[in-house]
Chain A
Amino acid sequence: MTLLEVRIELKKGVADPEGENTKKALELLGFEVRKVRSVKVFEIEVDESDEENALDTGKEMCRKLLANPVIHKYTVEVKRE
């Protein structure tokens, strides 16, 4: 079993209203905030024990479903607990 951590981020230049509004709300609560970016993280367990294969599978998952290449970039890492 391998535990993958898949991180989906907006590409540079793509508007991030969720991040911007989170920043505004934090500021209203009195926090001093320079920037907030929203990121989505999936933890995915796969049966594959070979880490390289598991990473390839994770990337394939991003290409086919988890990311939209028009606006997203992604990273896939093996998560160790």
Chain B
Amino acid sequence: MKLEDIRVAILQMEGTNCEDESYLAFERLGARPEKVHIKQMLGLVEGEERSPFDYQILMFPGGFSAGDYIRAGAIFAAIMKSRLMDELREYVNEGYPILGVCNGFQILVELGMLPATDGISSAPQAALTTNDSNRFECRNIYIKHEKSSNSAFTSGYGKDEVLLMPVAHAEGKFTLDAHKEKEMLKKLNDNDQMAFRYVNPEEPEKDDVPYPWNPNGSVENIAGITNPDGNVLGMMPHPERAFYNYMVNLQEPENFGPGAGIFRSVLDYVSRKF
């Protein structure tokens, strides 16, 4: 399909705060984004009802949905689960892409849509817990693109490409059940689900990435993962805040920045597939 026909839902509720940059990232590439309140998806706004299938891409942007009460992302996920789980499952199975950034990643994990090593799980298989530093880490970090196959969201990046991107979170430590950690990590690696890892740009080949390079203490320095099919991506760093070089103080300020590749890749994926 044509780029200008691709519709993107930027899903929001009270406390979402990255919807504008996310919207602009898609708009500036020529797609048709729309900010959609979760109540519209639930059919609770008369005359403004929406369905996931009205769109070719869904995005959960960053923020503090529902005030991060209970746990970050838990309430947004519970609302989605209450009515929309069957539709979301079908949406993903048909190959439509879903992106979750920061709070969006937390929501996808709470929904069981990531890691989803054996399909969408009814209970969460992972958690994004409090940073080891117990601080809100708000700064630029470096991540390395890890996917080897062409994925919906990262085809624009080379294998092992190192990218500068901002993080801004207090709960970003990717954690697995201690009893299943080894087995889950093996699956994530074997399934090519590792999308991005935090790195020290001076030695990006090293597995030992201490703080501050790994800002939260994530196991295996995980910054972002996909589902096995690669059409659901969750990541803690904010690509929409690195859309142009000037946003992260890089040279050639007007050129696309390190984060733009996520949006360009997924639009390319949709335009080729549908």
Contact = CB atoms under 8 A, between A and B. Distances in A.
A15 B132 contact: yes
A16 B173 CA distance: 12
- Counting contact residues on chain B (CB < 8 A from A), the size range is 20 to 34
Contacts of B81: 64
Interface in A9-48: 11, 13-18, 20-21
Contacts of A18: 130, 134
Nearest to A65: B78
Interface size class of A (residues with CB under 8 A): 10 to 19
A70 interface: yes
Nearest to A24: B134
B217 A70 contact: no
B80 to A, nearest CB: 12
Interface stretch (B143-151, B175-183, B225-233): B175-183
Contact of B178 (A11, A21, A65): A11
Contacts of B110: 68
B123 A69 contact: yes
B132 A70 contact: no
B255 to A, nearest CB: 38
B133 A69 contact: no
A46 to B, nearest CB: 17
Interface of A: 11, 13-18, 20-21, 63-66, 68-71
Interface of B: 70-71, 74-75, 78, 81, 110, 123-127, 129-134, 173, 175-178, 217
Given A15-B132, A70-B124, A70-B125, 15 more contacts: A14-B178, A15-B129, A15-B130, A15-B173, A15-B217, A17-B132, A17-B133, A18-B134, A20-B134, A64-B78, A64-B81, A65-B74, A69-B124, A69-B177, A70-B127
10 contacts: A11-B178, A13-B178, A15-B132, A17-B130, A17-B131, A68-B71, A68-B124, A69-B123, A70-B124, A71-B127
